[in-house]
Amino acid sequence: MKNSIVILLTGILLFSCNSNPESFTLNGKLRGEMTDGTRVFLKKIGENNQPMEVDTATTTNGEFTFTGKSDIPELHYIFVEQLAGYTPVIIENGEIQFSAQIDSMGFAEISGTFQNDTFGDYMEQSREISLQAQSIQQDMKSASGESALALQDEMKELQEKYKTFELEYIKNHPKALISALILDRALATKTVGLEEVQGIYKSLSEEIKKTKPGKQIQEGIEKLKASEEAGKNSSIGAKAPEFSGPSLDGTELALKDVMGKVTLIDFWAGWCRPCRAENPNIVAVYNKYHDKGLNVLGVSLDRTEEAWKKAIAEDGLVWNHISNIAYFDDKIAKLYNVDAIPAAFLLDENGVIVAKNLRGPALEAKVAELLN
């Protein structure tokens, strides 16, 4: 009988260790004077990049509880009614413990699950480097001369140290959501090159790749690859990529249909003040050199057809125009890696890009040179 009990207990223990929880419970404790019934909000970032309420709880003796089910780990935030600040927490199935002083929400203690334990470990290590940076910044306020230069060098070294720390942390924690969050930020800020990002991304676990930041990294990699390819295709010396789009009368108009001895592709929009300011110069150059072989093709990034046509009429732009009325989602702008306007590409008679973004007298001088 005794042996049977031991076997039974051992089986229960093994089953408990190997089972995966199918739901989460977040037990919270707020320290400090607080009225019972104070609302606590569990939120996450929605599609409009704003906090979106997921659940609400109320406090009793400073304690509150959230329960639910999480298919994949996801970053959430805890807000407390009438309290400043908030606390990030990773919602995943399991028992999550939350404890915070009411006047220090940013320094809450969160534990109990793998993702939150890892997140806490990362925050603790990164906080040490952040405190060093704050100390240097404080010293720089009163420093001058060689001391200021030395502190600047020290700050650069610390920034490099922080970058190395983060990348090493990702590599050592491929199953952690914080790793995807760090890599996603590094990709967005371009602090890490595309090739390195791709290599690190491949090392992440499949579960983390399925999370929101994991998917954002994949999308970011694809966009960056397309951008780099577009950059090569639209660089000086490259053959201008072919394209077409709806003209003013709705018919499809292609670049090849309007090529001259010299062709200016002008990316602009009616809402763009710098574009409108440059238009009189383009009009003057066009009037002077059109009969000698200069053609212009305007590619508008306007949001509405009315605004596009109104700006053309107001500025007297008598050359050919096309627009997909797609703002910066315009496929032609992406093809030419245009992420700001005005942007202009000057082509020779063979369709080779010979100059980019020329303004004022520089545009006329180059056109005159190409037309002899």
CB-based contacts of 83, cutoff 8 Å, min separation 6:
102, 103, 105
SS3 of 269, please?
coil
Q: Are strands 94-101 and 24-31 parallel, antiparallel or unpaired?
A: parallel
Ordered by where they begin, the domains of the chain are: 17-112 (2.60.40.10), 116-232 (no CATH), 244-370 (3.40.30.10)
Residue 272's Cα: distance from chain center in Å? 23
Nearest to 133 by CA among 155, 160, 110: 155
pLDDT at 1 over 60: no
pLDDT single digits (tens) 206-260: 999 999 999 999 999 998 888 777 777 788 999 999 999 999 999 999 999 999 9
CB-based contacts of 4, cutoff 8 Å, min separation 6:
none
Q: How confident is the model at residue 157 (pLDDT cuts 50, 70, 90)?
A: confident
Quote the strand ranges of the chain, DSSP E: 24-31, 39-45, 51-58, 63-68, 74-80, 87-91, 94-101, 109-111, 244-246, 252-254, 262-268, 294-300, 320-323, 343-347, 353-356
Angle ∠(292,296,299) on CA atoms, nearest 5: 175
Q: How confident is the model at residue 19 (pLDDT cuts 50, 70, 90)?
A: low
Mean pLDDT value across residues 17-28: 80
**Lowest-pLDDT choice from 14-18, 88-92, 125-129, 316-320:** 14-18
CB-based contacts of 324, cutoff 8 Å, min separation 6:
245, 246, 330, 331, 332
pTM of the predicted protein model: 0.63
Higher pLDDT, 230 or 158: 158
Percent of the chain with pLDDT over 90: 69
CB burial string 153-182: b at 16+ within 10 A, e below: ebbeebeeebeebbbebbeebbebbbbbbb
Q: What is the pLDDT of residue 69?
A: 93
**Residue 53 bridge partners (DSSP):** 43
Percent of the chain with pLDDT over 70: 95
